Chain A
Amino acid sequence: MIEINNLNFKYGKQAKLFNELSFSEEAGSIVGLLGKNGAGKSTLLKLLTGLLAAPNNSIQTLGDNPFKRLPRFLEEVYFVPEEYELPAVKISEFIQANAQFYPRFDNEKLHQIMIDFELDPKSRLSKMSYGQRKKFLIAFALSTNCKLLVLDEPTNGLDIPSKAVFRKVVASSLSDDQLVLISTHQVKDIENLIDKLLILDKGCIKMHSSIWEISENYSFTTVSQLTEGEILYSEVAPSGYKVLKKAKRANTNVDIELLFNAVTQGVTLN
C-alpha cells in the first residue's frame, strides 16, 4: 500500500530531512509513527498523501505517485492534520458537502462514533472547541472507510475520557484492507492501539517492527536495582529503573516510551 524507495528530501536550502529513506507497509495495520520534534513525521505524512512532492518518484501510495493527486487516489486517502481550519458550517452541512466524495462512506458509523464522542450533530463547527472539532474530524475520517487513514497528533487537544474513546473507536472501526498511520508524541495514548511501530530519527528509519515481534524478543520491566545481564537500556523510574532487555517470549507489555528512548539514544535492536 505504501512504498518508499531511497527518499531524499529537504525544504529549500535547509539540511536534508530524509536521507535514502526506504520502507513499505501493507494494509491491515495501525502503525505508530514516532520521532523527536523536527524528525520529519508530519513531512513524511504530507509526502505520503501528496501534499508535498517527493523527488524521483520515490513514493508510491496505493500504487500511484501521490503528488499527482488523482481523484481515485484522493477518494481512498483521508488525512487528519495536526492543525486544521474547518468551514464555519453546521456538522450536518459539513457531512453533506464532504461525504459525497468517499464511495465507502458510512453514515451509521459516523453517527455511532459521534455518540461515543458525545458530539451534537446540530452543532456549528466554528462554535465547537478545538478538542470537539478534532473528535468530529476523527469520526469523519473513520467513517470514510478510506484505505489509508493518516492521523497527525490525533490525541492533541482530547480530554482524558476522549482519549480512551479514541482508542476504542479506532480499534473497532477498521477493516483488513485499511492502513492507519498515526503520528504522535503522546505514546501512552496509542500504546494499546498500534500493532506496528515506525521510529524516525535523524533522517532515517531507526525501527520498523510489529509490537508482537518486539514483545517476542524483548522484555520491559521495572527493577529496584540494576544488575549485570543483558540490559540493553535503562532509565530511572520512581520505583527504581525501567529496563529493556533482550528476552525470548517474556510476554511483557511493550513500553513504547522506553523503547523509543533506547532507539533514539543509539541502542541497536536486532
Chain B
Amino acid sequence: MKTNQFFNTKRFVKYTKYSIISNYRQTLLFWGAIGFAILAISLLSMWRIHSSWNNEGWITLFLLGFYVTGLLNSGFAFKAFRSKERTITELLIPVSTFERFVYEFITKIIAFLLLFPTIFYATSSIAVIFRNAIPTQNSLATVNGLTTYPFNTISFEQLSGNLEPGLFGMLLMLSILVFILALAGSASFRKLPLVKTIVFVGLILLTGIGYFYLMLEKLHLRHPWVESLEHNLSAQQGFLIGKLTFASIAVIALIFTYFRIKEKEAS
C-alpha cells in the first residue's frame, strides 16, 4: 500500500475542514452547554457554600466536570456511526481509516485535555467576577480566621501539589485511558455506546478486582514474589509501573479502535 493511501496531510486537512463545517453547530452547542453548566454550578456553589468555598471546592468541581465531560465527549466520537444512513455517508468520504482515526483521537482526547481546563478556568473566573460583584452579608463570613470573600478562581497547582511525585502522572494516564476506552466503545457500539462501554469495562474491572481479592485476601494465595514486590518496591516505582500498565492498555484500546473502524460495514 502506498503511504499516501494511509496518511496524507493535505487530505487530513480536508477532512478536518469537512468535519468542522458539518459539525460546528453541535460542537459549539456541546461546549456552550458545558461552559454554561460550569458557570451555573460555580455560582451556585459560591452562593450556597460561601463560608467554606475554597480551592479544594474548585478542584472537586473541576475533577467532576473533567470526567463527566471527558466521558461524554469521547462517548460522542464517531457519531456518524450511530445511524445506518450516516455510516454510509461517512464510510464513503475519500479519506483513509487512519486519518479518520487520528482526527477523532485529536479532537476527542488531545483537544479535550487542553480545552476543558481552559474553558473551566475562563468560565469559573467569570463566575467569580459575577459573584464578587454582588456581595451579601453572608459573603463576608470568616472561617478559622480566613475570610472567604472575595472569592478566588481555581488554582491548578493544588491539583498536583498535594500528591506524591509520580502519582499525578499515573492518575493522568488513568484518566486518558478512561477516555480512550470510551472512544473504543463509541467505535464498537451503535446504540448507547457510553452506557455499554461503562457496563463492559465495569464488568472487566470487577472481575479482575474480584479475582485478586479472592486470591490474595480470602484464600491468602500469596506467591513470594508478591510479598517481595510489596516490600522492595518504592512508591515511585509503583507509580511508574501503574503508568506503564495504563499506557499499554491505552495503546491496545487504540489499536482495537482503529481496526473497529477499518472493518466497519454499513449493513
Interface residues of A, Cβ cutoff 8 Å to B: 11, 46, 49-53, 69-72, 74-75, 77-79, 81, 83-89, 93, 96-98, 100-102
Contact = CB atoms under 8 A, between A and B. Distances in A.
Given A49-B92, A96-B21, A81 B14 contact: no
B96 A97 contact: no
Interface in B219-267: 263, 265-267
B98 to A, nearest CB: 10
Contacts of A11: 267
Given A51-B265, A52-B266, A52-B267, A88 B25 contact: yes
B192 interface: no
Given A51-B88, A70-B5, A74-B93, A87 B266 contact: no
24 contacts: A51-B88, A51-B265, A51-B266, A52-B266, A53-B263, A69-B97, A70-B5, A71-B11, A71-B94, A71-B95, A72-B5, A74-B94, A74-B95, A75-B94, A78-B92, A79-B92, A83-B84, A87-B22, A88-B25, A89-B25, A97-B21, A100-B17, A101-B94, A102-B94
Nearest to B5: A70
A97 B17 contact: yes
A15 B25 CA distance: 44
B22 A89 contact: yes
A88 B84 CA distance: 17
Contacts of B85: 81, 83-85
A77 B22 CA distance: 21
Interface in B57-86: 83-86
Contacts of A51: 88, 91-92, 265-266
A87 B23 contact: yes
Contact of B93 (A46, A84, A93, A101): A101
B96 A70 contact: yes
A85 B94 contact: no
B21 A53 contact: no
Q: Which DSSP category, helix, strand, loop or mixed, fits chain B's interface?
A: helix
A64 B84 CA distance: 24
Contacts of B11: 71
Chain B interface size, under 10 / 10 to 19 / 20 to 34 / 35 or more? 20 to 34
B8 interface: yes
Contacts of A86: 89
Interface string B1-24: 100110010010010011001110
A146 B91 CA distance: 16
B94 to A, nearest CB: 4
Which secondary structure characterizes the binding site on chain A? loop
Contacts of B86: 85
Contacts of B89: 84-86
B91 A71 contact: no
A98 B96 contact: no
B136 to A, nearest CB: 44
A79 B88 contact: yes
A53 B94 CA distance: 17
Given A46-B266, A53-B265, A97 B88 contact: no
Given A52-B267, A85-B83, A100-B18, A74 B92 contact: yes
A89 B83 CA distance: 18
Contacts of A93: 21-22
B86 to A, nearest CB: 5
Given A71-B95, A85-B86, A101-B14, 15 more contacts: A46-B267, A50-B91, A51-B92, A51-B265, A52-B266, A70-B5, A71-B5, A71-B94, A74-B94, A81-B85, A85-B83, A89-B25, A93-B21, A96-B17, A100-B18
Contacts of A98: 18, 93
Nearest to A74: B94
B110 to A, nearest CB: 23
B22 A71 contact: no
Contacts of B265: 51-53
B172 to A, nearest CB: 35
A123 B195 CA distance: 37
Interface in B192-211: none
B15 to A, nearest CB: 8
Given A83-B85, A93-B21, A97-B18, A77 B92 contact: yes
Contacts of A81: 85, 88
B35 to A, nearest CB: 22
Nearest to B86: A85
Nearest to B11: A71
A69 B267 CA distance: 16
B5 A84 contact: no
A71 B1 CA distance: 11
Task: Return the 8 tightest CB-CB contacts between A and B, nearest first.
Answer: A74-B94, A97-B21, A85-B85, A51-B266, A87-B22, A101-B94, A75-B94, A97-B18
